[in-house]
Amino acid sequence: MGWFWATNGDSNTSGKCPVDHKKFATPTNADAAPASGGCPVDHSKMSIAACPVVSRKGEEVLNPMNNMPEYISSERAPGQKISLPTQRTISTIPKGESDSEGLWEYPSPQQMLNAMLRKGKAKDIPEDAVESMVDVHNFLNEGAWQQILMWEEKYTEQTRTEPRLLKFIGKPHDLSPRAQMYLALAKVFPETFNSQPPFDRHDWTVLRSNGKDGWDQVRYVIDYYSAPDDEDTGMPAFMLDTRPALDSVGNCVDRFTHWSVPLWKKAMGNTDV
């Protein structure tokens, strides 16, 4: 698992919360605010992947790489009170099988608002909070990719080829087996395990070089959790649980060694673990 906590300063992928909480000290809707206070993003309802919008011709044409429409509207919504940026941010995540496909792009704030309006999820979200929500969206996905790179490190060293992201899909309403297990354990050991479910789940299909001018597809499961606010700053924190799916022998071995090897080294007196 990886923790992402808030400090003052600009957002980046090393752990800083991108939400400017000074702008939202008093939420416009108390019911939409988290129990801890000022963050305008309701993490219990936020779906990182919920960006379905109307296509150019009014038809929903889904891209099989991300289960989202090919065309995402950047037009100002009817009744919209403030202008939102339409520029999309380029991620650091390589897209598809070759360099010619470039990098994945994140939705713009205007596209995010249009998506939420269409799905009926914008009622309790202030328009001036949408830009920060997009920052959170981008920030957490960049963090997820960094965790995947850590899992893939040994294969990257062997092949000298960085992994790439082929496709992804959001499953905010599907609890992963591990999330279900943690919730069950929380009923028995409430002091040890978190009783709150993840606010989102992604399945990412990663391309791993097979060393023979080809790629193997590896599915990763990512659970996104809201964590307790930082004790020193009062800013919100997040936790990502990123791991290979247990759908192949290789992934099972990677999962076992990932957790067992550090424990063994620690048991043998290695304090550097």
Q: Cα–Cα distance between 114 and 71 in angstroms, integer?
A: 12
Question: In this model, does residue 271 exceed pLDDT 80?
Answer: no
Instruction: State residue 237's pLDDT score.
Output: 85
Average pLDDT, the chain: 78
**pTM for the model:** 0.74
Instruction: State residue 120's pLDDT score.
Output: 82
Compute CA distances 6 → 37, 66, 165, whole Å: 14, 29, 27
Closest CA to 85 of 55, 54, 130: 130
Sign for the pseudo-dihedral over CA of 184, 189, 190, 193: negative
pLDDT digits (tens, 9 = 90+) for 158-180: 999 999 999 999 998 999 999 99
Instruction: State residue 10's pLDDT score.
Output: 38
- Label residue 160 exposed, middle or buried (CB < 10 Å: 0-12, 13-18, 19+): exposed
Taking the CA of residue 271 as centre, how many other CA atoms within 13 Å lie in the half-sphere pointing to its CB?
0
Closest CA to 224 of 204, 207, 206: 204
What kind and span of H or E run contains 262? helix 249-267
Residue 94 near residue 166 (C-beta atoms within 8 A) = no
Closest CA to 47 of 110, 126, 107: 107
* Residue whose structure tokens are 């090897």: 261
The mean per-residue pLDDT over the stretch 26-34 comes to 34
Taking the CA of residue 163 as centre, how many other CA atoms within 13 Å lie in the half-sphere pointing to its CB?
26
Proportion of the chain above pLDDT 90, given as a percent: 52
Instruction: State residue 187's pLDDT score.
Output: 95
The mean per-residue pLDDT over the stretch 25-46 comes to 39
Q: Cα–Cα distance between 181 and 206 in angstroms, integer?
A: 25
Where do the structural domains in the chain lie, given as residue ranges? 2-267
pLDDT digits (tens, 9 = 90+) for 57-96: 444 555 566 555 556 788 999 989 999 999 999 999 999 9
pLDDT band at 56 (very low <50, low <70, confident <90, very high): very low
Q: Cα–Cα distance between 23 and 26 in angstroms, integer?
A: 8
Q: Which token pair is 113?
A: 């608002």
Helical packing angle, 130-151 and 109-118, nearest 10°? 100
Written as one letter, the residue type at 73 is S
Beta strand extents in the chain (DSSP E only): 2-4, 62-63, 68-69, 90-94, 103-105, 164-170, 200-209, 215-227, 237-244
Proportion of the chain above pLDDT 70, given as a percent: 73
pLDDT digits (tens, 9 = 90+) for 188-228: 999 988 889 999 999 999 999 998 889 999 999 999 998 87
